[in-house]
Amino acid sequence: MKTLTSQERPRVGRDGSHNAYGQVLTPSLAVAAIVLLALTLMPGRTAAGAQDGTRGGEQDGNFCQLTAEDALLSCRTKALSDYQLALGKCDNIADAARRKACEQQAAADFKDAQRTCGDQNEARLAVCKRLGGAAYDPVINPANFVAEVNNPYFPLKPGTTFIYETSDGRQRDEFFVTHHTKVIQGVTCIEVRDTVTEDGELIEDTLDWYAQDKQGNVWYFGENAKQLQGGLIVGLKGSWVAGEDGAKPGIIMEAHPQVGDFYRQEFSLTVAEDIGEVLSLTASVKVPAGPFPHCLKTKDTSTLEPDVVEYKFYAPKVGNVLETDPSTGERLELIEIKTD
């Protein structure tokens, strides 16, 4: 083990705690740093000692679990970084009481961030348990895709606008199938513009890209999502494009869905990780646009927000007619379909 020189020796933190790199630590942060170090040195997670150049742990082929472990370490590292940055800002508050309150808030935020990291990891491991340990790397052959999207549960005819509203009428969602296309990974995708208004103000403006393969599966190739406030863009959360920065397309609608099917709808690690599960093929729905029997019901979740669940209902030859939030009872209902 390396012996520290006088210049390298740890310095004491504001509360007497420290780490081996001279970083200032609070007690909770010191524990977090130890956990991070343990994860970094965990057997099978480093290349050290690997004779063939592969990372330890790859031999068993459970790349799904390895992905979860890497994402967990990344999440905890970011939480640690954000915490230390927050403390740096607190250091420049002259008033002692306000500075202490700032530090306490930073510690609380750090604790929440660590809890989120753990919840996301549990959700990813649960997905791995159902999907297996294989790497998620779908083969995309442009020759296997068709020009139209006519899956009966997810038809996208250019010029069609699906209009949805919440039960209280405050939120309105317009899903417009444009005449535009975008080529992604060599596949010509149909572009959909999805806008959300709340009390008449535009709060989300998203471009989505879909394409259907010859077997009838509808693939989701990415989205450009903009969040707005007061007419100004305030975020791009959830934006991703297949083929860029490790992002990969998923299936938004299967060709022949069966109860129990469980699949990735999108995959951009830490950005977009939605999962779909088929619950029923015989659900009945009544919304302002009409009654719809024999609907496909899915359960949509995300490993990024493990506590959020949505039930979606798709009517044959129509598409999505209803979305519900079981925790709040909120409903987003189809009220009209327009064609140009």
Domain identity same for 33 and 109: yes
| Structural domains in the chain (count) | 2
202 contacts 195 by C-beta, under 8 angstroms: yes
DSSP 194-225: EEEEETTEEEEEEEEEEEEETTSPEEEEEEEE
* Domain-embedded: residue 142: no
* Domain-embedded: residue 140: no
The C-alpha atoms of residue 113 and residue 120 are separated, in whole angstroms, by: 11
* Domain-embedded: residue 141: no
Domain identity same for 116 and 175: no
Q: How many CA atoms lie within 13 A of 232 on its CB side?
A: 2
* Domain-embedded: residue 171: yes
How many other β-carbons are positioned within 10 Å of the β-carbon of residue 86? 17
The C-alpha atoms of residue 272 and residue 136 are separated, in whole angstroms, by: 14
* Domain-embedded: residue 228: yes
The C-alpha atoms of residue 172 and residue 199 are separated, in whole angstroms, by: 8
Domain identity same for 108 and 242: no
Burial status of residue 189 (CB atoms within 10 A of its CB: 0-12, 13-18, 19 or more): buried
Coil, helix or strand for 11? coil
Q: Per-residue confidence of the chain (340 residues) as pLDDT tens digits?
A: 333 333 333 333 454 444 433 344 554 555 555 455 545 545 445 444 444 556 555 667 899 999 999 999 999 999 999 999 999 999 999 999 999 999 999 999 999 999 999 999 999 999 999 999 999 999 999 999 999 999 999 999 999 999 999 999 999 999 999 999 999 999 999 999 999 999 999 999 999 999 999 999 999 999 999 999 999 999 999 999 999 999 999 999 999 999 999 999 999 999 999 999 999 999 999 999 999 999 999 999 999 999 999 999 999 999 999 999 999 999 999 999 999 8
229: domain CATH number is 2.40.360
Q: What b/e string do you get for 101-114 counting C-beta neighbours within 10 Å, with b at 16 or more? A: ebbeebbeebeebb
Q: Which residue has the tokens 């933190």?
A: 13
Given CA atoms 84, 90, 96, 97 in this order, what sign does their dihedral have?
Answer: negative
* Domain-embedded: residue 5: no
Domain identity same for 78 and 44: yes
Residue spans of beta strands (DSSP E) within the chain: 17-18, 24-25, 145-146, 160-166, 171-184, 187-198, 201-213, 218-229, 232-235, 240-241, 248-253, 262-264, 266-267, 274-287, 290-302, 309-315, 319-324, 331-339
The C-alpha atoms of residue 193 and residue 212 are separated, in whole angstroms, by: 18
For residue 320, what are the β-bridge partners? 314
Domain identity same for 98 and 162: no
Show the CA angle centred on residue 214, arms to residues 213 and 220, nearest 5°.
Answer: 10
Domain that holds residue 213: 147-339
Domain identity same for 75 and 168: no
Domain identity same for 80 and 173: no
The first and second tokens of residue 143, run together, are 């020759």
Domain identity same for 157 and 118: no
Backbone region of residue 61 per phi and psi (left: phi > 0; alpha: psi in -120 to 50; beta: other values): left
What is the value of pTM for the model shown?
0.85
